[in-house]
Amino acid sequence: MDELCGLCQSIDPARVLVIGTIASGKSFTVDRIKEKLPYLTINAIDNYRREYQASTKAGEFIAQSKFLKAMSLSKGIFEFTGAGPLFAPMEEICSTNPFDLIVRIHSPVDACMQRVRARSSWPPYPYPELPTEEMIFSIGKKLDSQGFSIGSNYWKEQKLVHVSGVKG
């Protein structure tokens, strides 16, 4: 994490994307980046879900739309899994408004599941089931297949760094 924070200070990015599977430590990482780059706004999909009451499909659609609009127009730190229905629009946004830095979080499935079980509150979401080991694992595999695998240092010509062992 210290290396990531040092990198953030040295390249002074205006746009940072933090991705990883559920409960991998994305929010913890975003908070550490924010400490080093306090002028950047945090744009996390879960914050949009809370703001727009995404417990319904309509609310989730609004939250996703607002998040993607911010991603397309704004500077800041952006956080979401990097997979699922937001991937294709994010990929399109990156072609016209690329990120200065993309951070992929790698955490073992068992550590993610411990965090899932310990988490007392979740953002509103139209599908009430809690994440499973299979879901967490499959998101990680999906990220790998989309080009965010540990052997990659760039994604679509954008700097990609990998962080493992997040304690958050």
pLDDT tens digits, 17-38: 999 999 999 999 999 999 999 9
CA 136 to CA 70: how far, in whole Å? 26
Q: Locate the domains of the chain by residue range.
A: 2-164
Give the pLDDT confidence of 104-132 residue by residue, as tens digits.
Answer: 999 999 999 999 999 888 888 888 788 99
Question: Nearest 5°: phi and psi at 161?
Answer: -120, 155
Q: What is the pTM of this model?
A: 0.93
H-helix or E-strand containing 77? strand 76-79
SS3 126: coil
Superfamily of domain 2-164: P-loop containing nucleotide triphosphate hydrolases (3.40.50.300)
